[in-house]
Amino acid sequence: MADASDKRSDRSSGRRSRREGSRPGKPKETGSRPAPGTRPSREQGWPRWGIWLVLGLVASFLFFPNLFPADDLDEVSYDRFLGQVTAHEVSDVLVDNLTGRIEFTDVDGVLHVTAGPLELSIDDRRLLADSGAAVLFETPKPGFLQSWLPLLLPVGLIILFFWWMSRRAQGQMGGMMSIGRSKAKLYSTERPGTTFDDVAGYEGVKTEIREVVDFLKDTEKFSEIGARVPKGVLLVGPPGTGKTLIARAVAGEAGVPFLSVTGSDFMEMFVGVGASRVRDLFDTARKMGRAIIFIDEVDSVGRKRGAGMGGGHDEREQTLNQILSEMDGFESSEGIVMIAATNRPDILDSALLRPGRFDRQVVVPLPELEDRRKILDVHVKGKRMGDDVDLSVVARGTPGMSGADLANLVNEAALVAVRTGNDAILAEHLDMARDRILMGQKRESLAMTDAEKEMTAYHEAGHALCASLLPKAPPVHKVTIIPRGRALGVTMMLPEEERHTDQQDHLEDDLVVAMGGRVAEDLVFGVISNGAHSDLVHATKSASRMVREWGMSDVVGPMAWSSNNQVFLGDGMLATRDYSDETARVIDKEIQRILVEQEKRCRDLLTKHRQALDLVARALLEQETISGEEVGRLIGIAAGSDPASTD
C-alpha cells in the first residue's frame, strides 16, 4: 500500500529553474556569416547545372526517338507498295538500308511511306528494276549523340561515382583530423543574452557570484590593488536548480564570450582525444582575451583518480590531468574564468578543488518558499491563469521542488485544463497536477476486491490518524485509497513550514506515522499484509541513521558511522568495518528498540482513538479521497461522542 508519508522534502530531480531562451535575444553560436544582402555561398563541389546536364543526357538517350516529330506522310502497307510498283504507278523510291523504311512518290507526286524488310529479296529488287522508277538505296550516318552517348554515359557515371567516393573519403579524413578539436559551443554577445534578471530567486547565489562579473567587466580595478579573483567557480546543487542558467547569466552580465561544454564531450574511443580537446578549448578561450569556460556535469571527467572499481579509467584520468595543467597555465589577469556545475561534489578529485583551480564553491540549493513564488511567476508567463489561482498557496504546497519540478507542475496543470475542456488553468488543475507528481498517476484500470479496499482504507486511516494526532508530525493534506503509481493508497502530508533540521521528537513521531498503517491492519483485522513494506523500509532506514549517524541513542552514545559509501567508487569495497562486532550488536539492538517502542506508541494511540479510526476508514470507503480538514473533523466527532478518547 502507500508509504507512511508522501511528503517530498528532499526532491532533487528536475532541470533548470528557468527555461533557457525566455528572453527574445538568446545568445547564438558564432561563426562565419555572410554580409548583409548577400546569399551564403554554397559548399564547393559538383555544380548544380552539371546534375541537370547529366539528367538531360540520360533522358535524351532513353527517349531519343521521341525527340523527332512524327512524319505526316501517307503510310501504306508493303503489299500495296509492291502493287503500285507492278502497276508502274511509282516514280521515285528511297530505301533506308538500316531500318527498312521506304519512301516513294507516285505518278501524281504524292509522297508515301511504308515499312519494308531490312533486306529486299531478289524478286523485289527485280520488280523495282523492271518498274522504271528511280530507286535509291541509302545508309544514313548516325548523329553525334547517337554515336557517342552510349559510350559517354557509362563513362560519365563511373567518373561521377569515383568523384563521390573521393568527396566521402575527404570528409572522413577531415573528421579524423578534427577529432581532437573541442566540441564547445561558443555564444557571443551580438544579441542580449541571459542576465541575472532571468534567474528567478536565488538572491544569495547571485550576490556571491556577482564578484566574477565585476572582475570580467573591470579587470584592471582588481589588478591595481593586487586582488586575485578565483580562477574557477564550482556550482553545486541538486539537478534542476538552474546551475547552467546561472553560469550563462554570468556571461550575459559580463558581456564576454561563453564557451559551453559538457564533461562527456571530452571522452572518445580514441586515446588522447580528451586531452587534445581540453588543450583546444583553453587555446580558444585565450584567443578571445576575456571569456567564460563552462563545463556542465564536470563529475563525469573530474572523478577521483585511482578510486578503485569504477573510478580508474586511464583516458578519463589523462583528460583530468590536462584540465589541471591548463588551469594552472593561465593567470587570473588573463580574464578567463572557469565555471563548472555538478550535483556530485563528493566524487570530484581533490586536486581539482584545491585553491588556484576551483577554489570557490557556490551552493545552489532547492528553492525556498519565496524563491518558489518567483519561479512560479516566471513559468506562468504566457499561460492563461484563472482568477482563483494563488501562486503563494501553490508555492507553500510544493516544498522540496526544484525549478524544473515547478515548470513541470505548471505544464501538467495546463495539460489537465486542456483535457477537462477549460480555457484557463484553475486552482483545481494545479492541485490535480501536484497530486499526480507527488502521488503518481491514477490507476483506474486496477480493480480491488472489497476486502482489499477495506484493508487499504484502514491502512491509510492509520497513517492519517497518527499524523493528525501527533504534534510534531506534518499535517495531513489528503488521503486517498485510489491506486496511484505503485501504491494502493496514499496519505500525503505537507509541512506548514520548511524545516532544515530534524529533532529527535520529530523523527520519533515520523516513525509512529510510518507504523500507523501496519498497526491499524493488525488492530482491526488481526493480520499483517505486505502492504507495509515501504513503510518498514522508511522506518528502518530512519532509525538506523538515528543510531549510526546522528547520535540519538543513549546506549551507543555520541558516535557516528556513515553508511553512504558509494560502491561504484570502490570506497569501502574491501575496507573493514570501523567498529567491532560487539558494537554492531549494540547498534542492531538499539535500532530494534527504537522501532518497537514507536510501534507500541502507535498501537496505544490507535487503540485509544479506535472510533476515529473507524470513522476515517468509513469515509474513505464512501468517498475514496478525503482532505486533511475532513480527517480533523472526523477526529473531533469521535472525541465529542466518546470523552475517553480525548487527549
Residues known to be catalytic:
460
What is the DSSP track for 142-182? P-HHHHHHHHHHHHHHHHHHHHHHHHHHHHHHHHHHTTTS-
Alpha carbon distance 220, 226 (integer Å): 10
**Which DSSP symbol is given to 288?**
T
Alpha carbon distance 419, 528 (integer Å): 40
Is 5 within 8 Å of 12 (Cβ atoms)? no
**Cα of 398 vs its chain's centroid, Å:** 23
Residue 297 Ramachandran class (φ > 0 left, ψ -120 to 50 alpha, else beta): left
CA quadruple 341, 405, 629, 632: dihedral sign: negative
Question: From the DSSP assignment, how many helices (H) and strands (E) are in the chain?
Answer: 20, 14
| CA distances in angstroms from 300 to 62, 313, 539, listed in the order given | 60, 11, 34
Strand, coil or helix: what is 349? coil
Is 521 within 8 Å of 532 (Cβ atoms)? yes
Nearest to 493, CA basis, from 628, 603, 602, 360: 628
Nearest to 95, CA basis, from 83, 85, 104, 82: 104
Strand, coil or helix: what is 84? helix
Is 247 within 8 Å of 202 (Cβ atoms)? no
What is the DSSP track for 575-610? PPPSS-HHHHHHHHHHHHHHHHHHHHHHHHHHHHTH
Is 402 within 8 Å of 432 (Cβ atoms)? no
Between the two ends of the chain, the Cα-to-Cα distance in Å is 29
**Cα of 632 vs its chain's centroid, Å:** 43
What is the DSSP track for 438-486? HH--B-TT----HHHHHHHHHHHHHHHHHHHH-TTSPPEEEEE-S-BTT
Alpha carbon distance 326, 339 (integer Å): 14
- Cell numbers at 446, concatenated: 486496477
